[in-house]
Amino acid sequence: MRTLFSSLLLSFSLFSASAWSDTPGDIRQSGFVYCVNGAIATFNPQMASGGLVVDTLAAQLYDRLLDVDPYTYRLIPELAESWEVLDNGATYRFHLRHNVHFQKTAWFSPTRALNADDVVFSFQRIFDRHSAWHNVNGGNYPYFDSLQFPDAVKSVKKLDKDTVEIRLHNPDASFLWHIATHYAPVLSAEYASLLTKADRQEQMDRQPVGTGPFMLSEYRTGQYIRLARNPDYWKGLPRMPQVVIDMGAGGTGRLSKLLTGECDVLAYPAASQISILRDDPRLRLTLRPGMNIAYLAFNTRKAPLDRVEVRQALALAINNERLMESIYYGTAETAASILPRASWAYNNDARVTEYNPQKSREALKALGVEDLNLTLWVPSASQSWNPSPLKTAELIQADLAQVGVTVSIVSVEGRFQEARLMEMNHDMTLTGWATDSNDPDSFFRPLLSCAAIGSQTNYAHWCDSRFDEVLHKALLSQQLASRVDYYAQAQKMLAESLPVLPLAYSLRLQAYRHDIQGLVLSPFGNASFAGVHREKGEVK
């Protein structure tokens, strides 16, 4: 056992120091290069709050109990062949697929197929605060913590080797959608047991083992990740032997790599680059509606932004139409609600905030908050909901300057951003949210519930017990019409209190070389690369 984990630690150090040895020609024979801007803090999506791990890696390394069809937006089987909803939505029973094998890696060789023990381990780690694994590597599960699932789940039990039952304290009509997200991968209980015996539990989230189509082969911090196909993948052998995820260039650097052939796929190209991409016969471009929202969050715990009248006055100064023209170039729609228009609970009565700088200036003067100085925290990397966050911040800065408000922009990244935002020293933050769930609850609770403050996803630090109560009532009902009514109430409350200013619903963009086939661009996040392959006879 000691030898196994000595080699495991050695392999991780090699991942961090080795060079990408393949030439582009070699990659083109055996795989493809996926270029994306992002950073890695963990390889376990349970512990991530979004970004590269959830949007791209999760679908390659892991599977979930349920999946979401990218075309019909319906729940479909994945590791669970079938499921039952009992007790009016308070009990869920899952019947597992047979002959699904975990990946055989340099650090773990499975001796059995997936069974109920793996599912129980995976969900108990998240939901059971008394689990020995709950606090490993920090014990933070941002998505599920924001939904208060550790308090909502009564038990996770193995009924037999192929059946798992999850009981909730109360009915929850959104539950299946939440466990169909990429935040809910199924991990190996056998791998966890070996790590426990070797006292190396922290390796679970650094050296991943899943049942997905690809497995981690090599990692160089901040530069690239190499994935090797899983020869035992239960859906069949992936078409490409390997995938290299290139994180080493941003902005125009990634576009240049795509044009020269160093990249085969460019994730989240800037909207300003679309004309270049469309005019090049060697490239293809895919656009789809996305379940996402870009928004400006006000720190409602800090004066004077703790006053709703001040927040409303500032919102009047922001020229959203200019953002559409200068940032999205026709690839987004002005947002009127925190809930995307594609959602079945979207309130059609929602109205985009009026742009009226004169009215804004007069309101601020009447409120006695002239000559205001504010800080605006902004992620430096492009996001699926905003291809140019810094430029967006500069436009907002210019808009607010017109009404006498001075804005200082602070550029931050990744987990650093999340940690600093929770210190509550900022005034505003430019952020967004994307989810692989079609349930409205996956927007409201993670972003604006009281519990989401503690889970570090509520950047507005806004807490309203009445709002939480409306969301709770929506979960108790299995009637769609009733849920729609409750979510309409929730949207009305947000419009009145304005803890966040919705900005844009962005189309999902993906550009790729002409010979790349089989890419599926989902509204809910990047899909599996298992079916991606090259077509002979590329257009030169």
**Domain 292-507 annotated CATH 3.30.70.140:** no
Single-letter code of the amino acid located at 72: T
Looking at residue 420, its pLDDT comes to 57
Q: pLDDT digit string (tens) for 82-130?
A: 999 999 999 999 999 999 999 999 999 999 999 999 999 999 999 999 9
CB atoms within 10 A of CB 69: 12
Facing residues of 246 across strands?
35, 224
Looking at residue 538, its pLDDT comes to 44
Instruction: With a cut of 50, say whether residue 371 has pLDDT above it.
Output: yes
Would you kindly state where each structural domain of the chain is located, as residue ranges?
2-247, 292-507
Nearest CA to 209 out of 127, 124, 110, 99 is that of 110
Looking at residue 8, its pLDDT comes to 37
Could you tell me the pTM of the whole model? 0.81
CB atoms within 10 A of CB 193: 12
Q: Which DSSP symbol is given to 221? A: T
Q: Rounded distance, CA 223 to CA 34, Å?
A: 12
pLDDT bucket at 290, cuts 50 / 70 / 90 = confident
**Cα angle, residue 396 at apex, residues 393 and 397 outer, rounded to 5°:** 85
β pairing state of 224-229 and 242-246: antiparallel
In this prediction, residues 259-263 reach a mean pLDDT of 91
Q: Rounded distance, CA 226 to CA 18, Å?
A: 11
In this prediction, residues 410-419 reach a mean pLDDT of 65
Single-letter code of the amino acid located at 310: V
Which one of 191-195, 368-372, 522-526 scores highest in mean pLDDT? Answer: 191-195
pLDDT bucket at 535, cuts 50 / 70 / 90 = confident
In this prediction, residues 350-360 reach a mean pLDDT of 94
Helix orientation angle between 357-367 and 308-315, rounded to the nearest 10 degrees = 160
Instruction: With a cut of 90, say whether residue 457 has pLDDT above it.
Output: no
Looking at residue 342, its pLDDT comes to 81
Chain centre distance of CA 60: 14
Dihedral angle computed from the Cα positions of residues 360, 362, 367 and 368, in that order, rounded to the nearest 10 degrees: 110
List Cα–Cα distances, 63 to 99, 159, 208, 408, in angstroms: 14, 21, 12, 43
Provide the residue count of the chain. 540
Nearest CA to 418 out of 434, 429, 407, 403 is that of 429
In this prediction, residues 306-335 reach a mean pLDDT of 94
CATH architecture of the domain with range 2-247: Alpha-Beta Complex (3.90)
Instruction: With a cut of 60, say whether residue 197 has pLDDT above it.
Output: yes
In this prediction, residues 128-151 reach a mean pLDDT of 92
- Supply φ then ψ for residue 285, to 5 degrees: -130, 130
Least trusted range by pLDDT, from 178-182, 313-317, 454-458: 454-458
β pairing state of 242-246 and 31-35: parallel
Three-class secondary structure of residue 411 per DSSP: strand
- Supply φ then ψ for residue 534, to 5 degrees: -100, 140
Looking at residue 314, its pLDDT comes to 98
Instruction: With a cut of 70, say whether residue 303 has pLDDT above it.
Output: yes
Instruction: With residue 429 as reference, give the H or E element that holds it.
Output: strand 428-434
Q: Rounded distance, CA 133 to CA 334, Å?
A: 43
